[in-house]
Amino acid sequence: MSTVTGVSAADELPGPDGRKPLTGDRASTGRLGDRLFGGAATLSGVIVIAMVSLIAVFLLAQALPALTNNSENFLTSRVWAPGGEKPAFGILEFLWTTVAASTIAMLLAVPVGVAVALFLTQYAPMWMRKPAASLVDLLAAIPSIVYGLWGLMTFRAFVKPVEQFLQDNFGWFPLFAPTKITGGTIFFIGIVLAIMVLPIVTALSREVFDQTPVAHKEGALALGATRWEMIRTAVLPFGKPGVISASMLALGRALGETIAVTFLVSALSDGTDWTWSLFNGGETFASKIANNAAEFSNPSKTGAYIAAGLVLFVLTFVVNSIARIVIERRKAFTE
């Protein structure tokens, strides 16, 4: 029988005899410390829920007036002119850039991150595991502005030839269609984001892989599995929910990453033709808002940007919910 992280013996019931799942009887000694701790924990929980709900309410309240005055379709328009007498704005372009860049980041970071975690927990010699793990964690400690500067000054030169190669040889494929953008393409931003979220994926995956019960691993090996087969049959299934959680956290960061992206993006001028190409420029939600925050000169304009922020909020929320559902289903499956 396999187990899942965060699932205790209590969750494994009802057992064959149909007993009810174990629960605490909420017993309390009635002592001050007991009540204080219970109260503090409850309060913290309530505060978090209240904060998220209030942020949603704030975003909605600020965005609604602007949305009702909008003369374009908010979800499908590519125009962004929120100021003036007739505000007109739509988020299609930001949505595409944000989602496309984050997807690239995930496609690169998750497999590599999981591989790094497997290496650190299963393959690396013992003396190497700890220092290597702290090095990976250090990657997470680098401020995003440093990633931005590094990407702009140093890393760009390495990615450019790759982009050129893809455009020259696979230009017929819509995603690789040639464009005139020289700087921060969606593709490039995706790669930088991948590096930024890699430590998140690695650190969390490493933790769960480390928790794989030794009995499972030894069992697999005893049955004649090679090391790879052992990983496939024991470590990976055990760690899957953890990896999914890690990926979702990472995706959340990729979607909302602001400073590094603001540094790197190439904005498109008005009236640029639509293209699916990953070598096009474009601004993400976060970079657009950050870049223009100094010019929030009136409520309706501010509202437009906040509405864009609201979409990002909803997007992240949806992504997280999907992750929850996946993890829940996974749990049900293993029981």
Partner 1 sequence: MSVSRVSAIGALALTGALALSACASENPAPAGNTAGAGGTAAVNADCFEGDLKAEGSSAQKNAIDEAISAYQTACGDANIDYQPSGSGAGIKQFIAKQVDFAGSDSALKTEEKDGIIESEEAKNSCGSDAWNLPMVTGPVAIAYNVEGVDKLVLNADVAAKIFNGEITTWDDAAIAELNKDVKLPSTPIKVYFRSDESGTTENFTKYLKAAAPEAWPHETGKKWTGKGEGKEKSAGVATATQGQDGAITYVEWSYAQQNQLAMAAIDSGSGPVELTAESAGKTVATAQQVGTGNDLALKIDYATKEEGAYPIVLVTYEIVCSKYADAETGKKVKSFLKSFASDEVQGSLTTQGYAPLPAEVATKVKAAIDAIS
The single residue among 267, 319, 320, 331 that binds partner 1, judged by CB under 8 A, is 267
Toward partner 1, which CB reaches closer, 27 or 294? 294
Q: What is the dihedral angle through the alpha carbons of 110, 112, 117, 122, rounded to the nearest 10 degrees? A: 130
The single residue among 46, 146, 222, 322 that binds partner 1, judged by CB under 8 A, is 146
Residue carrying the six token digits 């090391």? 227
Q: Residue 187 Cβ, how far from partner 1 at the closest point, in Å?
A: 15
Q: Does 289 bind partner 1 (CB under 8 A)?
A: no
Toward partner 1, which CB reaches closer, 129 or 330? 129
Q: Does 163 bind partner 1 (CB under 8 A)?
A: no
Q: Does 159 bind partner 1 (CB under 8 A)?
A: no
Pairing assessment for the beta strands 80-81 and 88-89 based on DSSP bridges = antiparallel
Identity of residue 257: E
Q: Residue 142 Cβ, how far from partner 1 at the closest point, in Å?
A: 7
Q: Residue 284 Cβ, how far from partner 1 at the closest point, in Å?
A: 12
The interface mask with partner 1, positions 29-68, x = CB under 8 A, is ----------------------------------------
Signed CA dihedral, 171, 174, 175, 177: sign only: positive
Stretch that binds partner 1, among 4-12, 29-37, 41-49, 80-88 (CB under 8 A): 80-88
Q: Residue 297 Cβ, how far from partner 1 at the closest point, in Å?
A: 4
Q: What is the DSSP string of 1-32?
A: ----TT--GGGG-S-TT-PPPP---------H
Q: Does 131 bind partner 1 (CB under 8 A)?
A: yes
The CA distances from residue 242 to 114, 208, 218, 219, in Å, are 11, 6, 21, 22
Toward partner 1, which CB reaches closer, 233 or 292? 292
Q: Residue 269 Cβ, how far from partner 1 at the closest point, in Å?
A: 5
Q: What is residue 294's DSSP assignment? A: G
Stretch that binds partner 1, among 6-14, 195-203, 287-295, 327-335 (CB under 8 A): 287-295
Q: Does 301 bind partner 1 (CB under 8 A)?
A: yes
Stretch that binds partner 1, among 110-118, 127-135, 222-230, 324-332 (CB under 8 A): 127-135
Identity of residue 106: M
The single residue among 8, 28, 154, 269 that binds partner 1, judged by CB under 8 A, is 269
Query: Is there a contact between 112 and 100 (Cβ–Cβ < 8 Å)?
Result: no
Q: What is the DSSP string of 299-335?
A: HHHHHHHHHHHHHHHHHHHHHHHHHHHHHHHHHHHH-
Distance CA 38, CA 271 (A): 58
The CA distances from residue 286 to 27, 95, 290, in Å, are 47, 10, 6
Distance of CA 196 to the CA centre of its chain: 11
Q: Does 326 bind partner 1 (CB under 8 A)?
A: no
Residues near partner 1, by CB under 8 A = 81, 83-84, 127, 130-131, 134-135, 138, 141-142, 146, 149, 152-153, 156, 180-183, 262-263, 265-270, 281, 283, 287, 291-292, 294-301
